[in-house]
Amino acid sequence: MIDFEKFAKYSRPAPRYTSYPTAVEFRDLTPEEIIPFYQNSTKPLSLYFHIPFCKSACYFCGCSVIYTSKEDKKVKYLKYLRKELEILKKYLDTNREVIQLHFGGGTPTFLSAEQLKEVLNMIKEYFPNFAKDAENSIEIDPRFLTEEQLKVLVDGGINRISFGVQDFNEATQKAVNRVQSYELTKSVVDMARKYGINSINIDLIYGLPFQTLETFKHTLDTVLTLNPDRLAVFNYAHVPWMKKSMRKIDETTLPHPSEKLKILKYTIDFFENNGYKMVGMDHFAKPTDELFKALEKGELHRNFQGYTTKGGADLIGIGLTSIGETEDAYIQNYKDLKNYEKAIDEGHLATFRGIILNEEDKIRKRIIMEMMANFSLDIKRFEKDTGINFFEKFKNEVEELQEFVDAGLATITPEKIEVNKTGAMLIRNIVLPFDEYFKKMQNQKAFSKTV
């Protein structure tokens, strides 16, 4: 049995490691610095389109969002997406094979069916070479999806949908300004199945107001009746100093770290007892799902969209605030609409910051991302690929890991670092010793707590 009160001592600010180095390290980059990374690669493409609009604020949300009901804002934004693609085409070979497409937000389905059709046609126009087995996914708020929109998405090649649920507890929903009934959620999941969507993910969040182990048990029982293929169960990142909407959450209603750990432990056992396997630190999938198959082979990857089987591609971020990733750099678009539009009007890429990775960054990125994705590091494979003696170079880091070995959360052999199921709940803590930037950071409050 886990002593949750003792375990909660590990709760500390740390990155979620959707990238390494993290976005905190991004600096201003000129288009001239960025262009070579688009021109010099021949890798397949993974496209991310950010649709920033929402009708109202969900107080837990950490995304870059524009709250509006104005039609003209959406129309104008689509015009700028086309302009951005036209500029991008000058520097990027858009005939490269596309193996992944993802729509995030905001609320992508805040666009009308006609507007969604326009965007999908635009993408196929500029990127004509989609792989037959491309993963084409979209994040959807169940409160904003019509049958007409869904038909457009399916006709446009969307084959995966992620529905945001978060929690079915009414008190929690009201506290975060996201009231959404089970009946509504079930109706859109059933509709997606009817239209042939065979991969449905549901997002949940633990650590929200008024949540207890008992209330979350009810949510899990309810979600199971929807029979999702995958689930993402995120630890709520409460960072009100960064996101103003989070200030509307009464912090006294948030569960204690020990309660959150009980919820997480129960959630892991619950899904594994009901036919799902844990994938990465916060995802679950049926054993037939390709995510789990990739994990078994040690080939799971992690990026800004979460866990994926589509490694080895250049991620191209398109739209406001989107982030791209190549082997040598992370590149982010402007975060505010005015500067985004100004850059495009002047004929420039909409990117304004990022980081160019040095060799040390790449080595540490490989370790951190492999452990975040697979809960293990194949030391022998690492040494063979890099020519580095792991235990010589990372002597101090291995010493720091001894705390987790002594606690029975991880094992270290000459061949492998392996984190067990309990240790997986603290994977962000366990990879932290390999993060050079974090150790030098003055303000570690930039990150949410690990527990």
Tell me the per-residue pLDDT of 422-436, one tens digit each, with 9 for 90 and over.
888 889 999 999 999
Are 149 and 188 contacting, i.e. CB atoms less than 8 angstroms apart? no
**Whole-number Å distance between alpha carbons of 299 and 294:** 5
Helices 213-224 & 257-273 angle (0-180, nearest 10): 30
Quote the pLDDT of residue 225: 98
Model pLDDT for residues 69-91, shown as the tens digit of each residue? 889 999 999 999 999 999 999 99
Range 26-32 average pLDDT:
91
> Residue 301: pLDDT above 70?
yes
In a shared domain, residues 46 and 110: yes
In a domain, 305, yes or no: yes
pLDDT at position 392 is 97
Residue 334 belongs to a domain: no
**Looking at the structure, do residues 207 and 290 belong to the same domain, yes or no?**
yes
Looking at residue 124, what is its pLDDT?
A: 97
Q: Which of 286, 318, 350 is the last residue of a domain?
A: 318
Look at residue 439 in the predicted model and tell me its pLDDT.
83
Q: How far apart are CA 403 and CA 398, in angstroms?
A: 10
Structure tokens at 308: 């994926």
Percent of the chain with pLDDT over 70: 97
pTM over the 0.85 mark: yes
The pLDDT score that the predictor gives to residue 365 is 96
| Helix or strand holding residue 317 (H, E) | strand 314-318
Question: 262 and 140 share a domain?
Answer: yes
Q: Note whether 136 and 101 are within 8 A (CB).
A: yes
Instruction: Provide the mean pLDDT of the chain.
Output: 92
How high is the pLDDT of residue 281?
Answer: 75
Query: What is the mean pLDDT of the segment spanning 249-265?
Result: 91
Q: Are residues 294 and 365 in the same domain?
A: no
Going by C-alpha positions, the residue among 336, 330, 317 that lies closest to residue 356 is 330
CATH of the domain at 235: 3.80.30.20
User: Residue 303 pLDDT > 80, yes or no?
Assistant: no
What's the structural domain count of the chain? 2
What tens digit of pLDDT does each residue of 341-366 get?
999 999 999 999 999 999 999 999 99
Are 74 and 207 found together in one domain? Answer: yes
Residue 296 lies in a domain: yes
Beta strands in 60-167 (DSSP E): 66-67, 98-105, 130-140, 160-166
Contact 77, 130 (CB under 8 A): no
Over residues 402-425, the pLDDT tens digits come to 999 999 999 999 999 999 988 888
Domain boundary among 292, 318, 344: 318
What mean pLDDT comes out for the span 150-167? 97
- Residue 375 in this model has a pLDDT that exceeds 60: yes
The amino acid sitting at 51 is I
| End-to-end Cα spacing for the chain | 18
Residues 66 and 170 in one domain: yes
pLDDT in tens, 41-68: 899 999 999 999 998 899 999 888 899 8
**The pLDDT value given to residue 182:** 97
**How far is C-alpha 405 from the chain's CA centre?**
28
Report if residue 424 sits inside a domain: yes
Q: What is the CATH number of the domain that holds 427?
A: 1.10.10.920
- Check whether 1 has a pLDDT greater than 60: no
Based on the fold, state whether residues 300 and 417 are members of the same structural domain. Answer: no
Is the same domain home to 366 and 246?
no
pLDDT reported for residue 2: 56
Between 211 and 450, residue with greater pLDDT: 211
Averaged pLDDT for residues 238-249: 89
What whole-number distance in Å separates Cα of residue 350 and Cα of residue 369? 27
Quote the pLDDT of residue 6.
Answer: 64
Confidence at 4, pLDDT banded by 50, 70, 90: low
Band of pLDDT at residue 157, cut at 50, 70 and 90:
very high
Same domain membership, residue 225 and residue 134: yes
Residue 122: predicted pLDDT:
98
Residue 314 and residue 362 in one domain? no
Q: Is 110 a member of any domain?
A: yes
By percentage, how much of the chain surpasses pLDDT 90?
A: 73
The verdict on residue 333 lying in a domain is no
**Helices (H), strands (E): how many in the chain?**
17, 20
Helix/strand/coil for 189: helix
Residue 443 has pLDDT above 70, yes or no: no
163 and 212: one domain? yes
Of residues 62 and 200, more confidence is placed in 200
If you write DSSP's letter for every residue of 246-287 in order, what string do you get? GGGS-GGGSPPHHHHHHHHHHHHHHHHHTT-EEETTTEEE-T
Residue that is last in its domain, among 318, 342, 375: 318
- When pLDDT is averaged across residues 273-298 and rounded to a whole number, the result is 85
* CB distance 111 to 69 below 8 Å: no
One domain, residues 295 and 368:
no
> Is residue 445 in a domain?
no
Q: Which domain holds residue 420?
A: 358-438
Q: What is the pLDDT of residue 36?
A: 92
